[in-house]
A and B are shown apart, each in its own frame.
Chain A
Amino acid sequence: MRPQTEAELAEAVRGAAGPLVVRGGGTRGIGRPVAGEVLETGGLSGVTLYEPGALTLVARAGTPLAEVEAVLAAEGQRLPFEPMDHRGLLGQGGEPTLGGMVAANASGPRRVQAGACRDSLIGVRFVDGRGAVVKNGGRVMKNVTGYDLVKLMAGSWGTLGVLSEVAFKLLPAPESAATLVFDGLDSVQAVEMFAAALGSPFEVNGAAHLPDGRSVLRVEGFASSVTYRAGALGRHLARFGAPGVLDSEESAALWVSVRDVAPFHNGGGDVWRLSVKPTDAPGLVAKAGGEALYDWGGGLVWLRVAVGTDLRGALGGFQGHATLVRASADTRRALAPFQPEPAPVAALTQGLRAKFDPRGILNPGLME
């Protein structure tokens, strides 16, 4: 099914006889495999409102991300959270949509400073599992009117409702960027360096440690400010060695590869995503084994392990969560792709699902 309007979308959900596989651009085959009729949102497309002077954009959920990024770039603006493109990692085709990005709460390296997708999302319209159209939030960036279902929808992977429209607050795109490259730090030293960098006033908005051993920091802004802050950071972090510096263009390419976890695109293996307390990260990686890419100053770890590895079993208890992002459908059936929740939290999650999707037809089981 491929509805062309919100009303048709609502009709499709209302009339559904069984489970629906909700699909934006089909670029993120993540979670427990779902069987059902495919419901595509790509027919709901187009930017409905863009006000550069108010830093806000509203678009239908099926709008290709690339289209929105082009519209924003023409005004020197961007989505602040640097959404990850999963295609390379998952070996998938398709065209990422805004709705899919929101459903995955896809957030890249800049999350460490500018927040996640959910932090920039200011409004949603969606169709719940009953087929009712619901709106929440709006098009203004400060809004506490009623409960914040906007956040609840971000990262809910189409299991609570099918998004029909999304609204964002934006940021100006910076004039310039620079990346500091430190060689030879091990993961513990790298995370220590990140703590010193992110705890400094120099507004670092990218902090990653790559499998090839490089540890990288990014600053963005007006050109003179970038030069100043890159220099000041180098001095502040002198005890970690003398960094090399990448200019705007080299920097952009590097951070796309961090954002999309390029080092793990080829070469097989299952890929897990760990969200943890940064200083815990190196110890957890040591315990699990495998190859790691650290982002968010250590708070996000991409871990490549042998096919079929039960990573949670290997790690034991820790603060945070592990998500199995890349694995065969069989492995994603065998190992819960999303972190199982403690009983009282799971009860709330189940309760919300039962309220928003009482028939259990929206991507059923995907997040279990």
Chain B
Amino acid sequence: MQMPVPRADVIAQRARLFEQLRAVLPDEAVIVDPTETRAYECDGLTAYRCPPLAAVLPATTAEVAAVLRICHAAGVPVVPRGAGTSLAGGALPTADCVILGVARMRDVLETDYANRFIRVQTGRTNLSVTGAVEADGFFYAPDPSSQLACAIAGNIAMNSGGAHCLKYGVTTNNLLGVTLVQMDGTVVEIGGPFMDAGGLDLLGVICGSEGQLGVVTEATLRILPKPEGARPVLIGFDANEVAGACVSDIIKAGILPVAIEFMDRPCIRATEAFAHAGYPDCEALLIVEVEGSDAEIDEQLGLIRQIAERHNPVEFRESQSEEEARKIWLGRKSAFGAMGQINDYICLDGTIPVSELPHVLRRIGELSKQYGLDVANVFHAGDGNMHPLILFDANKPGDLETCEAMGAEILKLCVEVGGCLTGEHGVGVEKRDLMSVQFAQADLEAQMRVKDVFDPMWLLNPAKVFPLAASEGRRG
């Protein structure tokens, strides 16, 4: 994977840069020692690493603005970093960049139940936003798998989703306002504790812009009342196609589950060996979760059972207790960990129209044979967001490259059937060079013009999202 050549002039001037940064931040918030900057050399996409010139950890919006003003004046690229859990390399540094981490900005600034919002500093983790309001019966809906660790800043940058977004939407549907610091240090307030934009929907384009338009330091998030209850069922099938048809029938019946998760046989076997959740040994299984009062849950599950039975399930397991509900989710939630135990893997994130599920799974099976690498499928079936895990051996020369080539084939397939490259992880560096598969030049041009407005010098996370050849004339 190619990255821009680090700017020698920036690196040569580093002593002066460090001095300027130390003038606006406490000493411990400016990290320049090469043994310490290594902690920032990669994010969740660990195959690629590069220590930054420096890492800074400001504690306030004013400090963020001061850092950005300095870097702007000196022409130094800045890579914003939330908790560093990106699977797409969104926070991967270059050797000439300053990593701007929000890890010290974790405060809750305001909680307002009457108006149902919370305002936080964006270094706060996703789960601890819910943690701040759950005792009062509320929660923050987007729930990426990494929610224990990932920061709101990164959630906003990538427009993160999660298992429950079929009902509650993704980050952009739950974000009301941001404090954004532009690369030149200008601080802007966009949106707030009200429900729409007065002019152009700038908030909508900031969310999901992968840290390329500004650094979001504070966010106003919509919080929701917790449901009375929730209960999952597990349904096993003897073919992927049948499971796919069942998903479609559930949706057409007017039921809106909060989650519909899908696992195929390789994934079921691996997680079963790891987590012992007691899953049936079958070709495909669905976990469907519904919410409401006990009676409402019973009614919805009754309908789901009727629909499932038309598809001859090999298993229909309702949970009769908290413990059984936990076990139904256990395998799904440990799927990624389980795969990591047996192999190195890369996790894809393409989305497809739900109707294309059987075809795409069949093609993935064929590609798996062709490339000689195993694939396990686990994904959000209700919205077509797939997570094929391609297994490889990092110690075997050439295996990673084979794996990436196969991943690219699968993502092209997703686009070909009417879907997209990434449903919730973001483009980062991982899918950057595939953007031209999904978008024509005019489409990319329109997006890059947005960056031209927010960051005319292209200093913020410049080597991400757009193919390097497409952004070349814009980057310094």
Contact = CB atoms under 8 A, between A and B. Distances in A.
Interface string A304-327: 000000000000000111110000
A51 B445 CA distance: 31
Nearest to B425: A144
B420 to A, nearest CB: 4
A349 interface: yes
B439 A146 contact: yes
Contacts of B172: 119, 148, 151
A345 B431 contact: no
Counting chain B CB atoms within 10 Å of each CB, the highest count among A150, A195, A323, A352 belongs to A352
B450 A51 contact: no
B165 A142 contact: yes
Interface string B142-176: 00000000000000001101000100011011000
Nearest to B452: A355
Contact of B353 (A51, A128, A339): A51
B193 A199 contact: no
Interface in B280-312: 292-293, 295-296, 299-300
Nearest to A53: B248
B370 interface: no
Contacts of A132: 442, 445-446
A218 interface: no
A236 B423 CA distance: 39
Interface stretch (A64-72, A177-185, A220-228, A245-253): A220-228
A201 B228 contact: yes
Interface in B411-446: 418-427, 431, 435, 438-440, 442-446
A16 interface: no
Contact of B383 (A135, A140, A160): A140
A12 interface: no
Given A51-B355, A142-B170, A224 B295 contact: yes
B424 A144 contact: yes
Contacts of A224: 295-296, 299
Interface stretch (B40-48, B113-121, B232-240, B319-327): B113-121
Contacts of B420: 138, 140, 143, 145
Interface string A342-355: 10110011011001
A159 B112 CA distance: 35
A142 B385 contact: yes
Contact of A118 (B204, B249, B425): B204
A351 B355 CA distance: 40
B442 A155 contact: no
Given A142-B351, A145-B422, A156-B200, A277 B209 contact: no
B195 A112 contact: yes
Contacts of A54: 248, 251, 353-355, 384
A140 B419 contact: yes
Interface string B394-413: 00000000000000000000
Given A140-B418, A201-B228, A152 B453 contact: no
Contacts of B352: 140
A320 B194 contact: yes
Nearest to A150: B204
A169 to B, nearest CB: 8
A290 interface: no
A278 interface: yes
Nearest to A195: B114
Interface string A143-169: 111111111101110001000000000
B475 to A, nearest CB: 17
Given A149-B205, A228-B295, A115 B169 contact: yes
Given A53-B252, A142-B161, A344 B186 contact: yes
A147 B454 CA distance: 13
A146 B249 contact: no
A356 B449 contact: yes
Contacts of B446: 128, 132, 134, 136, 149, 356
A99 interface: no
A268 B353 CA distance: 48
A173 B254 CA distance: 7
A24 to B, nearest CB: 18
Nearest to A170: B251
A116 B195 contact: yes
A275 B194 CA distance: 6
B476 interface: no
B226 interface: yes
Interface in A243-284: 275-279
A151 B205 contact: yes
Contact of B299 (A135, A138, A225, A319): A225
Interface string A179-218: 0000000000000100100111100000000000000000
A320 B254 contact: no
Given A224-B295, A320-B192, A152 B422 contact: no
Contacts of B114: 192, 195, 199, 278-279
A107 interface: yes
Contacts of A56: 353
A340 to B, nearest CB: 9
Nearest to B435: A146
A352 B197 contact: no
Interface in A331-367: 338-339, 341-342, 344-345, 348-349, 351-352, 355-356, 367
A139 interface: yes
B245 to A, nearest CB: 9
Contacts of B203: 151
16 contacts: A51-B354, A136-B443, A138-B419, A142-B170, A142-B383, A143-B423, A144-B170, A146-B439, A147-B465, A150-B204, A225-B295, A225-B299, A320-B192, A349-B199, A351-B453, A355-B450
Lowest 7 CB-CB distances: which A-B pairs, in order? A151-B204, A321-B198, A53-B248, A172-B254, A351-B453, A142-B423, A339-B198
Given A146-B427, A151-B207, 17 more contacts: A51-B354, A111-B195, A128-B446, A134-B446, A140-B383, A146-B447, A147-B451, A149-B446, A155-B200, A172-B251, A198-B116, A225-B295, A277-B192, A320-B194, A320-B198, A338-B198, A344-B186
